[in-house]
Amino acid sequence: MSSIAIIGSGMGGLVAGNLLAKKGHKVTIFESHSTPGGYTTGFWRKGFYFESGTFSFESSQHVFSVMKDIGVFDKIEFTRQYGRWIAPQFDCVVHSWNELKTAILDAYPSEKMYFTRYFAEVDTMCNVMRSLTPPKNVFSAIAYPFKLMRGMTILKKYDKMTASEFTAQYLEKDSIGYQVLKDMGYPDMSALIIAGAVLSFLEDYWTVKTGMQSWADVLADNFKKLGGELMLNSYVDKIITKNGVAVGVSCGGKTYDADYVLSASDYKKTFLKLLDDTSMLPKAFIEKLENAAVSESFFTVYLGLNLPYEKMKEYLKVPHVSYHTGQSVDFNNTREENFFEKTSCMFYSPSLHNPELAPKGKSSLMITAMSPHKWMNNWGVGNKQMYKKLKENVKNALIEKASAIIPNVKKHIVYDDAATPLTYERYTHNTDGASSAWSWNPHKRFYKNIISTRVNTLVKNLYISSCWSNQIGGVPGAISAAYKCAKKIQ
């Protein structure tokens, strides 16, 4: 059996650790933070539980299958995540794509013709995506290759088109409908992803009733029961190589030998910062890596509210709310000081899923807005006073948005805090606090193919076991990478 060092205890590191320890390998996971989970961690403040980053996931069939393989599925309280959409002249709780379409058509009758054309094209994309599911029997297996070729031919025309460009084919850019629909996902993401976003967010969106941290804790506990070693507060400062082969890691001044090293962390920093000898990497690869764009980060406000469960449910209706201002924002303009006053955001209340995640008679609320990269000179360019001022201004701007659905919300606040992209980078080590690996913009790809999972690297016995193995990342991407790494190491 082999000795394996895993850098990071996010979902990719924990799943890989469990699968490899289950095979009998000697596995050590190194985590720089005090708790396991990476972007799936959560924290408690004054009796309120908040998610640190990720609060939902998709591709449930794949995720659940892996949890069953590990043997922890029954220990995790997975629950469906439904959403409420709010926009000018529009407010609806939806449980499916068809419900959202009907609600939008009813809300904007003057644009019905344009919306109908847009929906028809997205429906075509969704039907193709559904047809590409793996065959379940020998008869469907025979037809599958032909379905796959036809489907990819249909979808290929969207590959290099952004969601904004796609939406602009049907709706005027100054219309509310255009602003709302183009906001479905990351800024200027590939139009190819629209169908996946629809099928995921509206038909296969899940969370954990007891909080995402409890999921990470279950995996961490199981990993230790299988004989794995989880080292918290242990930052890996170097990946050690010998003759072009990864042979261990350095942590806290000590060297840990390993037959394999799995990086379940930021791809860019793995090679540009942690690798002990970058001379083994082609110059073109290093330049590509240095210039590679990553996904946007978030600004999140955490609020503990003196509102009972019943009142919070009356205001929010469901735990997850997408709030669209209908205003145009430019994610490429890092100097737009009032960006967060205009941008759309999300509201999320963990305590609406589970009242035990807040003190009795109180509720939790997270307000999250996607942030431009390095906004306002990267949040003050190290100037602490400027950083605090910007952070406070953005926090207040987002709390003001919450007052649109929770009257006098400021009067109910008993706890508040906020996280900037710099906060996310500090705790996750993701470049620029990237929330989902590489950029979703089709013109800024690191990988040409957005579907494939790539765990192999230019360094022998060094694998990528995180969402960075996939262009668009996410929890399913991290789990896919972990599963693939575990299959490679026998």
CA triplet 364, 366, 367: central angle to 5 degrees? Answer: 145
Is residue 243 assigned to a domain? Answer: yes
Q: For residue 296, which of 274, 326, 329 has the smallest C-alpha distance?
A: 329
For the stretch 84-100, pLDDT in tens is 999 988 899 999 999 99
As a whole-number percent, the residues of the chain with pLDDT over 70 amount to 95
Q: Please indicate, yes or no, whether residues 334 and 352 belong to a single structural domain of this protein.
A: yes
pLDDT for the residue numbered 135:
46
- Average pLDDT, integer, range 377-394: 95
Q: For residue 425, which of 335, 294, 304 has the smallest C-alpha distance?
A: 294
Give the CA dihedral 145, 125, 345, 217, nearest 10 degrees.
Answer: -20
pLDDT for the residue numbered 140:
43
Taking 70 as the threshold, does the pLDDT of residue 266 lie above it?
A: yes
How does the average pLDDT of the chain come out, rounded? 92
Is residue 416 assigned to a domain? Answer: yes
For the stretch 450-487, pLDDT in tens is 888 999 999 999 999 999 999 989 999 999 999 999 99
Q: For residue 5, which of 32, 26, 35 has the smallest C-alpha distance?
A: 26
Q: Please indicate, yes or no, whether residues 416 and 449 belong to a single structural domain of this protein.
A: no
Q: Please indicate, yes or no, whether residues 142 and 241 belong to a single structural domain of this protein.
A: no
Is residue 288 assigned to a domain? Answer: yes
CB 412 within 8 A of CB 306: yes
Read off the amino acid at residue 263: S
Taking 70 as the threshold, does the pLDDT of residue 283 lie above it?
A: yes
pLDDT for the residue numbered 106:
93
pLDDT class for 219, splitting at 50, 70, 90? Answer: very high
- Go through the chain and tell me how many residues it has: 490
CB 355 within 8 A of CB 309: yes
DSSP β-bridge partners for residue 29 = 6, 230
pLDDT for the residue numbered 323:
95
C-alpha torsion sign, points 301, 305, 308, 313: negative
Q: Please indicate, yes or no, whether residues 138 and 237 belong to a single structural domain of this protein.
A: no
pLDDT for the residue numbered 69:
96
pLDDT for the residue numbered 129:
77
Q: For residue 195, which of 145, 233, 161, 147 has the smallest C-alpha distance?
A: 161
Domain limits at 197? 83-204
Distance of CA 480 to the CA centre of its chain: 14
Q: Please indicate, yes or no, whether residues 460 and 391 belong to a single structural domain of this protein.
A: no
Residue 475: which residues within 8 A CB-CB, separation 6 or more? 11, 40, 54, 57, 58, 63, 467
pLDDT class for 440, splitting at 50, 70, 90? Answer: very high
And the tokens for 424?
């996310």
CB 13 within 8 A of CB 29: yes
CB 301 within 8 A of CB 399: yes
What span, in angstroms and rounded, lies between the C-alpha atoms of 380 and 372?
14
Q: Please indicate, yes or no, whether residues 456 and 480 belong to a single structural domain of this protein.
A: yes
For the stretch 160-204, pLDDT in tens is 899 999 999 999 888 888 888 887 789 889 998 888 888 888 889
Q: Please indicate, yes or no, whether residues 281 and 312 belong to a single structural domain of this protein.
A: no
Q: How many domains does the chain have?
A: 3
Give the CA dihedral 245, 235, 4, 217, nearest 10 degrees.
Answer: -150
- The owner of tokens 């090679």 is 271
Taking 70 as the threshold, does the pLDDT of residue 418 lie above it?
A: yes
Is residue 177 assigned to a domain? Answer: yes
pLDDT for the residue numbered 381:
87
CB 264 within 8 A of CB 482: yes
Is residue 72 assigned to a domain? Answer: no
pLDDT for the residue numbered 133:
63
And the tokens for 171?
């709706």
Domain boundary among 176, 204, 232: 204
As a whole-number percent, the residues of the chain with pLDDT over 90 amount to 81
SS3 state at 76: coil
Taking 70 as the threshold, does the pLDDT of residue 284 lie above it?
A: yes
Q: For residue 480, which of 136, 38, 112, 59 has the smallest C-alpha distance?
A: 59
DSSP β-bridge partners for residue 451 = none
Taking 90 as the threshold, does the pLDDT of residue 14 lie above it?
A: yes
Is residue 453 assigned to a domain? Answer: yes
And the tokens for 304?
């503990």
Alpha-carbon separation of residue 182 from 175, 338, 487 (angstroms): 11, 20, 38
Q: What is the pTM of this model?
A: 0.93
For the stretch 17-46, pLDDT in tens is 999 999 999 999 999 999 999 999 999 999
**Lowest-confidence segment of 99-113, 213-227, 383-397 by average pLDDT:** 99-113
pLDDT class for 151, splitting at 50, 70, 90? Answer: low
Is residue 46 assigned to a domain? Answer: no
Taking 70 as the threshold, does the pLDDT of residue 149 lie above it?
A: no
What span, in angstroms and rounded, lies between the C-alpha atoms of 78 and 333?
39
Q: Please indicate, yes or no, whether residues 221 and 170 belong to a single structural domain of this protein.
A: no
pLDDT for the residue numbered 125:
87
Taking 90 as the threshold, does the pLDDT of residue 216 lie above it?
A: yes
Alpha-carbon separation of residue 375 from 129, 211, 339 (angstroms): 36, 30, 9
Is residue 103 assigned to a domain? Answer: yes
Taking 60 as the threshold, does the pLDDT of residue 146 lie above it?
A: no
Ranked by mean pLDDT, which of 154-168, 222-236, 322-336 comes out on top? 222-236
Which is higher by pLDDT, 146 or 3?
3
Q: In what order do the strands lie in the sheet with 236-242?
A: 236-242, 245-251, 254-257
Taking 60 as the threshold, does the pLDDT of residue 139 lie above it?
A: no
pLDDT class for 142, splitting at 50, 70, 90? Answer: very low
Domain boundary among 428, 451, 467: 428
